[in-house]
Structure 1
Amino acid sequence: MAYFEHKKSDWKLFCERLPEWQEKYMERLIEEYIEYLQGDDPASTKFWEMEKRIRQDRRTPGVFLRLEKSNMDFDIICLIRDGVIGFGDLEGFSHELINRIEELNDAH
């Protein structure tokens, strides 16, 4: 696949929106944690399950993402596949970037 030059406006918008997307995603995680913690499992089971879950969740792009402009399209695909964002969240990005994301997403 040919090299894709990201527009500065897309990169700027991505950097602006990413913290909002991540915050919203982490709010969903917290709600899931609360629901689990209110369940009937023993405290020790809850504790170790939450430790495992948080360790896994903190590695997802919805929680942590190393920002590199050259990886922006692949990062967006990961955010979509992990349920952090949807294609509707890409409103405002260039048509070229959105088309590339759709092509890359369809290829996998």
Structure 2
Amino acid sequence: MSLIDFSALRRLVAEADVLTRDSRVPTTEAERRLADVYYTICVYIGLRDPAQALEQARRLLAEQQPLVGTRRGCGRAGRARTAAGRPVCPAGAVVDAGVVDRP
């Protein structure tokens, strides 16, 4: 399973939208930046075609549910723990070594 920074992906999709919308009068710099953004989205998603990668990124962002709790807030005294003794956040995400994972 790939690990995706959804906030970074959201920013990239928004930037691609702005650059695409403003491409009526394209500049070399804007075209280069759009190519960079498409490339980065392709790498994040694991597809070569920018249109397919952008579509998949939008789908992932639409399906993404935010984790409840934070790295600092989860696992404090009084919180539930797994059988292995790892702290559990209210939404069921498990904290282990400062990383929040979905069960």
The normalised TM-score by structure 1 is 0.32
Task: Name the one with the larger strand percent.
Answer: 2
**Higher RCO structure, 1 or 2 (CA under 8 Å, sep 6+):** 1
**The structure with more radius of gyration:** 2
Task: Name the one with the larger helix percent.
Answer: 1
